[in-house]
Amino acid sequence: MIDTPLPSPRVVVFTDKLDWHVDHTLAAFRALGATPVAVRLSACRIDTSRPHGLVLPGFHALPDLAIVRAIGDGSLEAITMRLGVLHALEALGVPLLNAARAIERCTDKSMASFLLAQAGLPTPETFATQSPAQARAIARRECAGGPLVMKPLFGAQGWGLRLIETENDIPSLEEARGVYYLQRFVGPSRPPYEDMRILVSRGAVVAAMKRRSSHWITNVRQGARPVAVAPTVAERDMALAAAQAMGTVFAGVDLIVGADGAPMVLEVNSMPGWSGLQRITAFDIAGRLAADALADIPSPRMAGRGLG
């Protein structure tokens, strides 16, 4: 009896725009024999008249794998529905990278800080409140020991960060979008400033870099320069532990050196970019990540997965 080859794995790559990362991700999956399709989560919908209750543009059957590159901007209701689509895919048995719950944990910086601290990982002292009076009181108390950084609760790539040196730097509730997320500033008082990004996949370190800048915001998109680096054993272990604490399979873990010279975790990104890291990495990062992701597909793949 001759076995019939399985069709190529069907991969949905969720995004909000067709950028460099999506292009490289699609190319990497194609090179490995998969059939990837970029889909905006905002274009997906719940439809309980269908056998599986979902409509994904470009798919007449459930995908074999789902990759989440971006959720996209939108109202609380819109974001909740998009996350609902991801939860639904998981409920239907579709491997999802990262899991919806892990994305929720990482996206909400206050919950991420809470989970990292509860896991016993060193991380800057963090305060989150919805009260302007409490935010000013925190700044009045904590800025005596050094500045704080105010970050958008949902934000990335260094946008919207604000240095808080006195309580007068605390913005209005409207400017803060209803939540004050304040974190102890860690780093030197003058340039150069730097931190470390470690890319983690399936319990292993894929690549790492230092991000060096003349500005205290060290994201590459904000002008920081990527510098090749080999993480120490302690830094590798910390990055892997942080990714595990957040429930991520694939993550970008940001570390910074504290005043005592030891590393600490700044944050864990469940949908990280790697364009800056690729500039100083010899192998194709997208190819490595795609191969790791395809390993999550059960073999032989499930039959009868029509969307209706």
Whole-model pTM?
A: 0.92
For residue 125, give every residue at least 6 positions away whose Cβ sits within 8 Å of its Cβ, in sequence order, or none: 142, 183, 184
Give the residue carrying structure tokens 């996949």.
201
Phi and psi at 158, nearest 5°, equal 80, 5
Instruction: Report pLDDT digits (tens) over 269-301.
Output: 999 999 999 999 999 999 999 999 999 888 654
CB 169 within 8 A of CB 182: no
Q: What is the DSSP string of 266-290?
A: EEEESS---HHHHTT-SS-HHHHHH
Q: Which of 285, 259, 129, 306 is nearest to 197 (CA)?
A: 285
Instruction: Report pLDDT digits (tens) over 294-305.
Output: 998 886 544 444
Q: What angle do CA 273, 186, 144 make, to 5 degrees?
A: 145
Instruction: Report pLDDT digits (tens) over 23-77.
Output: 999 999 999 999 999 999 999 999 999 999 999 999 999 999 999 999 998 999 9
The mean of the pLDDT values for the chain is 92
